[in-house]
Structure 1
Amino acid sequence: MATLAQTPPATPTHWTEGNPTEGDLSHIPGEGGWPVVGNTFKMLADPHAFTKRMVETYGTVYKTRAFGGWNVALVGAEANELVLFNKDKIFSSEQGWGPVLDQLFPRGLMLMDFDHHRIDRRALSIAFKPGPMRHYSGSLNSGIASEVDKWEGEMLFQPAIKQLTLDLAAESFLGIPWGPEADKINTAFVDMVQASVAPVRRPLPFTKMKKGVDGRAYMVEYLTKETLRRRKEGGGQDMFSQFVTATHEDGSLLEVDEVVDHMSFLLMAAHDTITSSATSMVYQLAKHPEWQEKLRDEVFAVTGGPDGSGRPRPLDYDDMGKLELTEMAFKETLRLIPPVPSMPRRALKSFEFGGYRIPAGTPCGINIYWTHHSTEYWDDPYTCDPMRFTPDKVKARHKYAWVPFGGGAHMCLGLHFAYMQVKVLMTQLLQRYRIEVEEGYAPAWQEWPIPQPKDGLKVTFVPLS
């Protein structure tokens, strides 16, 4: 098997062969937008407003042309269930995400289908068993406590939590403190994620895609060397060491390039999506101090509050499940600002939905943000209310009305790690500070590819005593 360093990025045309023409989709309502670029720039400028207008104009099944081709949007909880549950194996995640991620995060779990996905997911799941998770819990408690202790006063939260999640990923995922590589790795991730929605899909000089492809090359070199070193010298309980020793069903080790690809993808997923969701939750708690106080009361009840010397107590791994209201508030945050606002797929065979026949080869997409804000499933959907996630309300609602972690076979492998990291963060923050923002503060958000406040989120951490 060729090593990653020898494997060239896929060309954009690889993913467009067999795509439907405008004529193939003539029976489906929608619009193509401007010549050449279609609706690409309209979607990037304000994706949620674009989706809202398209649904109001054409309904919950519509076609649009963007990023070089036609695709069909399938919007709503029923569409989410059809695509994510994928009972009849109609939809390819690999061919859906491929045009977006293949030059940057090839062969990650999201870019695998069916048996290949099942086999690799089973091998990688060893890293999320109770033993390793308990180890990560200890690393998260110590790492978060050390950093949060420095956050008193006014600050920009998003850059701070981004750096912290990178540092935490280094210890929990890689088992090492960041050295001189820190800035390069952070830059590589930023460039790779931004390139995922770059209008120019070829790595031409001075383009976002070129910076993204260069970032991937750096990550491949770094992770390949680390994989070979771990296999020679042994590793610890960190996630990377778990991957290095993971085996296929026949007992054989994963190939080095497989380990590198999965590690690169999961580092990106954990780093950027947790940064986004933690930033969103801090903003919601600052805007809603009544909920902040309720969560603080719960944290104090579970941990016992600061110790005799005034130091916040850590959150024990066995107490994670006791932070029920904190989890509900996190779920409401993910509803309001899902870190992955939409998900692409490609139809492997023709199917019918919403009264339309969609031909094989059609790129399709579901819109998580729209569903999370639809009055069909949510009362007053733009209001923050964690009580939407009481067991009785969850049971009464469509199962696929809330899908920030995806669903079906491709449900996020690290979702429990995300819950754990956010609960530890909230435990440390709420035992130390009141989180405040200026009255009337409402930052503008960059919506794609992963939501974040454009100004970095201006908050003040006020000591409790």
Structure 2
Amino acid sequence: MVFQLEKVNEAIRRRVPPLTSMPLPRSVDQRIFEKQWPVTELAPPPPGSGLKPVLGDAGAPLIGHSLDFMRYGPAFALRRFELYGPVSWAYSLGQRMVTLGGPEATSAALVNKDKAFSQGGWRKLIDKFFHRGLMLMDFEEHLGHRRIMQQAFTRQRLTGYVDQMGPTLREGVTAWGGQDKTRLYWLLKQLTLDVATRVFMDRRSGQEADRVNRAFVDSVRAATAVVRYPVPGGRWAAGLAGRKLLERYFADNIGTARAVEGDDLFSALCHARSEDGEQFGDDDVINHMIFLMMAAHDTSTITSSAAAYYLAKHPEWQERARAESLAMGEEIPDIEALEKLGTLDLVIKEALRLVAPVPSMVRETVRDTEVLGHHVPAGTMVGVSPLVNHFSPDHWTNPFDFDPERFAEHRREDKSHRFAWVPFGGGAHKCIGLHFGTLEVKLLLHEMLRAYTWSVPDDYEVKWDYVSLPVPVDGLPVRLRRR
């Protein structure tokens, strides 16, 4: 195998072109993509298995490729796919991790026919901050909790949530005012927090909500800390403190939520029962609330930011969407009205493709398994990368272009493969709140379109920070003008 690895290394060194074929952002240091590290095997396949080893490299000493992905996101993921194919390994976050890219490799992990892939990868990364959230559970326990939680996301519940979030969004958007250089991301983040506290907890924003917001941010960012120890002033310590604050916040209010069945999500979880009559205990409700608020708050902020950015870059789509929103009149739309805003549907789906809110879905193998003929041993951390799927030229026409029509019925490029478009994951762990999140983002953009026009300079390109979830580094400055 030493001789074969030498040939692999030589073949990679001679690849033409030396840089990934994707259009690299101006912020990318091309030396990162030109640097070639020695290729090695993850582990030798079992004798006689006929399987191939997973190839990859460790990257820079000590830190490996951790900072490369945080800084370059899709560009780095696509470069790895170009070098090694759909199954590769890299040293990241203190350990060797296998990355699965492309629809077929994604299918192996998310369909998980042999139940070799557990949520242990997520538990290693974020359990201290989102302990026993639904996404961290496995197999039968996950299925049982999901059945109960589904009662909080029925059509009837979603209808009520939309009715609650409408006035909050209209009031919040109207209060922005027109500015020449508005940092839109931070406005959207505060607004989605207002929605979360209103719909999830039946409370308005204020100083308490600001503390909760800070706790969520600290908890999310702590999961990708390079120094994974509670050093005073460090990211890990801030995340642990944030978790404690969130636990106290929900524990102080659970008695009220159990006493009366309300329309908010907290109350819905307290009173939810499966068809077998099972319900959550207090600790389960608190754990799930912390996870759900984080998931809904952050992903809605990212998706609305990405959609707003592309509408600023493509004013013809902004005007097309605005025409549909204005045609609905002055009333705050209900769920049925929102579902008729077809242009926003296309724009949101394309924004989710170009900026996946969760850029990696983490798993851990609980037994030896194989992916596309490659041997992946038990105990391996695995990252499933939707970034590769969403830019695959085999499944998308001109994949780096903003083209919402690709989701229109006459094209439906997302149907090219079951896992070509996976912003919400797939399989048993597909996002339970995907309809809630989509409705929130659509209603938010609808209110923006009614109240404002917004733009960015022609030469402006947003840079996304992938330290945890994608965030615009500069806060997404836009010119916001009242209509």
TM-score (norm 2): 0.86
Paired residues of 1:158 and 1:279 also in contact (CA < 8 A): yes
Task: Provide the residue aligned with 2:192 in structure 1.
Answer: 165
Matched, 1:113 2:138: yes
Paired residues of 1:444 and 1:454 also in contact (CA < 8 A): yes
* In 1: Cα distance, 2:89 partner to 2:198 partner: 44
How far has the Cα of 1:129 moved from its partner? 1.3
* In 2: Cα distance, 1:429 partner to 1:249 partner: 40
* In 2: Cα distance, 1:252 partner to 1:336 partner: 40
- Cα deviation, 1:197-229, whole Å, max 9, x if unaligned, reads 111122232220110011001101111121133
**SS of aligned partner of 2:216:** helix
Q: For residue 432 of structure 2, what is the amino acid of its counterpart?
A: L
**Unpaired stretches in structure 1, ≥5 consecutive residues:** 1-20, 306-311
Q: For residue 180 of structure 1, what is the amino acid of its counterpart?
A: Q
- Cα deviation, 1:76-122, whole Å, max 9, x if unaligned, reads 011122211223322112x0211111111011111011111111111
**Unpaired stretches in structure 2, ≥5 consecutive residues:** 1-40, 46-51
Task: Provide the residue aligned with 2:157 in structure 1.
Answer: 132
- Aligned ranges 1:272-283 → 2 under 5 Å: 272-283=298-309
* In 1: Cα distance, 2:149 partner to 2:342 partner: 28
* In 2: Cα distance, 1:337 partner to 1:96 partner: 22
Task: Provide the residue aligned with 1:460 in structure 2.
Answer: 479
**SS of aligned partner of 1:30:** strand
Of the three residues 398, 418, 438, the one matched with 1:380 is 398
* In 1: Cα distance, 2:334 partner to 2:74 partner: 39
How far has the Cα of 1:63 moved from its partner? 1.2
Q: For residue 184 of structure 1, what is the amino acid of its counterpart?
A: R
Of the three residues 280, 286, 295, the one matched with 1:269 is 295
How far has the Cα of 1:252 moved from its partner? 4.6
How far has the Cα of 1:402 moved from its partner? 0.3
Task: Provide the residue aligned with 1:190 in structure 2.
Answer: 217
Q: For residue 420 of structure 1, what is the amino acid of its counterpart?
A: L
Paired residues of 1:39 and 1:64 also in contact (CA < 8 A): yes
- Aligned ranges 1:112-261 → 2 under 5 Å: 112-154=137-179, 155-231=182-258, 233-247=259-273, 250-261=276-287
Task: Provide the residue aligned with 1:63 in structure 2.
Answer: 89
Matched, 1:42 2:60: no
* In 2: Cα distance, 1:369 partner to 1:214 partner: 32
Of the three residues 309, 333, 342, the one matched with 2:351 is 333
Of the three residues 371, 377, 402, the one matched with 2:389 is 371
| Count of residue correspondences | 434
Task: Provide the residue aligned with 1:446 in structure 2.
Answer: 465
**SS of aligned partner of 1:357:** strand
Bigger mean CA deviation after superposition, 447-456 or 336-345? 447-456
How far has the Cα of 1:320 moved from its partner? 2.4
Bigger mean CA deviation after superposition, 167-176 or 388-397? 388-397
* In 2: Cα distance, 1:251 partner to 1:283 partner: 45
Q: For residue 58 of structure 2, what is the amino acid of its counterpart?
A: G
**SS of aligned partner of 1:434:** strand
Of the three residues 11, 21, 32, the one matched with 2:58 is 32
TM-score (norm 1): 0.89
Paired residues of 2:71 and 2:465 also in contact (CA < 8 A): no
* In 2: Cα distance, 1:393 partner to 1:408 partner: 24
Structure-2 change in CA distance of 1:432 and 1:229 (3 Å):
closer
**SS of aligned partner of 2:168:** helix
How far has the Cα of 1:179 moved from its partner? 4.4
**SS of aligned partner of 1:322:** coil
**SS of aligned partner of 2:411:** helix
Paired residues of 1:151 and 1:461 also in contact (CA < 8 A): no
How far has the Cα of 1:178 moved from its partner? 3.1
Of the three residues 95, 99, 108, the one matched with 1:73 is 99
Aligned identity (percent) is 39
Task: Provide the residue aligned with 2:375 in structure 1.
Answer: 357
* In 1: Cα distance, 2:113 partner to 2:55 partner: 26
* In 1: Cα distance, 2:91 partner to 2:323 partner: 50
**SS of aligned partner of 2:135:** helix
Task: Provide the residue aligned with 1:3 in structure 2.
Answer: none
Of the three residues 433, 444, 462, the one matched with 1:414 is 433
Of the three residues 121, 128, 139, the one matched with 1:103 is 128
* In 2: Cα distance, 1:332 partner to 1:338 partner: 10
**SS of aligned partner of 1:449:** coil
Q: For residue 374 of structure 1, what is the amino acid of its counterpart?
A: S
**SS of aligned partner of 1:62:** strand
How far has the Cα of 1:392 moved from its partner? 4.3
Paired residues of 1:119 and 1:249 also in contact (CA < 8 A): no
How far has the Cα of 1:453 moved from its partner? 1.1
Q: For residue 390 of structure 1, what is the amino acid of its counterpart?
A: A
- Cα deviation, 1:399-444, whole Å, max 9, x if unaligned, reads 1100000011111111111111112112211122222122322232
**SS of aligned partner of 1:265:** helix
* In 2: Cα distance, 1:369 partner to 1:266 partner: 23
How far has the Cα of 1:248 moved from its partner? 5.3
* In 2: Cα distance, 1:119 partner to 1:281 partner: 35
* In 1: Cα distance, 2:334 partner to 2:255 partner: 34
